[in-house]
Structure 1
């Protein structure tokens, strides 16, 4: 039986990168320190902040809210749950979110796709379910920005972990999306959007799940029925195998992208100015924002 390096108790975690072997108590302290260090390193939560936390009820956002509520941060939190309107899935995760915020005593707001665009995700995808992830992602971003603004938040925290970040980098390469891979420009987006932060961006999904299990935070929930259409599912699987075989792969991908953008740097003196969508008033560089453009296409108007 493996024992903790610090106290000799039964170990629950072996860190592949460092070789550290930790019991539940010391693993939890290690994970919380990693999140706190990430927040400090990137200046994510200034003093006296009001932070909206995207709380789906799933494992990542559940761990995120639980850890942030535990850390000694000079901040106020409000949980925001987006109800996409997915039959036999979302109701259960919303109940999990409601149970968590009640236990932690955190303010909770729920905004639905029906509130945002008049239809549920199931209705929007009735004839094209294969477009689920792009449609859902675009509308979720709008919903979170709206909800955070209405809640008076100056930051939106999401539960994206290091696996998610590495997957996004690789997906941009696979799609040949050079703008997202290489473009680093100055913009006035911070004046229009509520800034996003990702406090778990240096935590692996494996560590995040382990933290949730050790601290009895997780419940069995259904999987989103649209997952089978996602490019991300295949990328997640392959990167998981690579990380298992070559520990540190995820961190190398994420830090490599940061180094690339730092090397390129924003074009001096050039500021990409954003305006507002003529249909909904949300921020955009174009006549219509991404969400309104997408809705127009789904409605067959463009």
Structure 2
């Protein structure tokens, strides 16, 4: 199997494009997609301090690598890595060293904040409490709040995440299956919200499989294990279903996102962006009254602490 661009040995066949690509042209294709999206949405501009959410997996490794490679020589643009340690035994303790290795290689400051410090216990401990919600509910809510809090604490004005094409397509289908059309409208915010650091997603046009290959070909350190709680959620089932459709109907994931982008304008008209208010307990942005993070903390009877006081710079 030869590369359609240069005739060298191909490392991938993109079914959706019909192209066989060698290592060089696969890296080039991934970076072209990422840089095109970053230009279109002006994700990084002069004066930015971008916090990068680092899990230790392939996606966050690829995001940090290409951001530093593209903008690292610019003295007016700064990057800082943030890792949330949920306290998942046999998972996060293996991925954290990979983050440190990459940050050291790229010369990027790295901060770690844990559920134990902020919430009072690890996710593993948290899930021993009586609960109605799935593990991903607790993890997702606490992670989002901690990333936002930490990004503000270090003075970042943007937060980059490793969400890829698969992640976004899964999110769209998840909300459709839940009948949550209002949440669909919120996936493309109209304007910045006070207290909420704007998110950027450089990988949103790149399939997960190609992100993994890109990280491997670039020699980036990353952990390949999967969260042991991942299969508890509906998202896991949607992921399997979507991968099956993609295998039989190449381009399905891109089609889902094109369709969503075409309809999101109508959704925003029906569900205009609601101004966020400060949580009555922690002051973080929320819809009204007490935020979901504080409600979950109260539900599991855990007193929260300020993550700012507990930081350790690596």
TM norm structure 2: 0.88
Instruction: Give yes or no for contact 2:129–2:300 (8 Å, CA) kept in 1.
Output: no
1:47 aligns with 2:50: no
Alignment of 1:169-208 (within 5 A): 169-182=172-185, 190-208=193-211
1:60 aligns with 2:63: no
Instruction: Give yes or no for contact 2:185–2:268 (8 Å, CA) kept in 1.
Output: no
Alignment of 1:19-168 (within 5 A): 19-72=18-71, 74=74, 75-128=77-130, 131-168=134-171
Note closer, same or farther for the CA distance 1:253–1:131 as it changes in structure 2 (3 Å cut).
Answer: same
Partner of residue 285 from structure 1, selected from 264, 284, 287: 287
Distance in 2 between the 1:20 and 1:47 partners? 36
Gaps of 5+ in 2: 304-314
Instruction: Give yes or no for contact 1:186–1:266 (8 Å, CA) kept in 2.
Output: no
Gaps of 5+ in 1: none
Note closer, same or farther for the CA distance 1:184–1:87 as it changes in structure 2 (3 Å cut).
Answer: closer
Note closer, same or farther for the CA distance 1:221–1:84 as it changes in structure 2 (3 Å cut).
Answer: same
Note closer, same or farther for the CA distance 1:127–1:265 as it changes in structure 2 (3 Å cut).
Answer: closer
Shift in Å, 1:7: 2.3
- For residues 251-299 of structure 1, give each alpha carbon's deviation from its aligned partner in whole angstroms, at most 9, with x where no partner exists: 111121121111344469x763322111111111211111011222222
Instruction: Give yes or no for contact 2:119–2:302 (8 Å, CA) kept in 1.
Output: no
**Aligned-pair Cα RMSD in Å:** 2.3
Q: Which shifted more, 252-261 or 166-175?
A: 252-261
Name the structure, 1 or 2, with higher relative contact order (CA <8 Å, separation 6+).
2
Q: Which shifted more, 182-191 or 161-170?
A: 182-191
- For residues 222-256 of structure 1, give each alpha carbon's deviation from its aligned partner in whole angstroms, at most 9, with x where no partner exists: 32221231211111111011111111111111121
Q: Give the match for residue 222 of structure 1.
A: 225
Q: Give the match for residue 11 of structure 1.
A: 10
Q: Give the match for residue 209 of structure 1.
A: 212
Note closer, same or farther for the CA distance 1:225–1:42 as it changes in structure 2 (3 Å cut).
Answer: same
Instruction: Give yes or no for contact 2:87–2:123 (8 Å, CA) kept in 1.
Output: yes
The DSSP-based 3-state class of the residue aligned with 1:201 is: coil
Matched length: 299
Note closer, same or farther for the CA distance 1:211–1:113 as it changes in structure 2 (3 Å cut).
Answer: same
Instruction: Give yes or no for contact 1:184–1:266 (8 Å, CA) kept in 2.
Output: no
The DSSP-based 3-state class of the residue aligned with 1:111 is: strand
Shift in Å, 1:203: 0.4
Note closer, same or farther for the CA distance 1:210–1:186 as it changes in structure 2 (3 Å cut).
Answer: closer
Distance in 2 between the 1:26 and 1:271 partners? 41
Note closer, same or farther for the CA distance 1:3–1:72 as it changes in structure 2 (3 Å cut).
Answer: farther
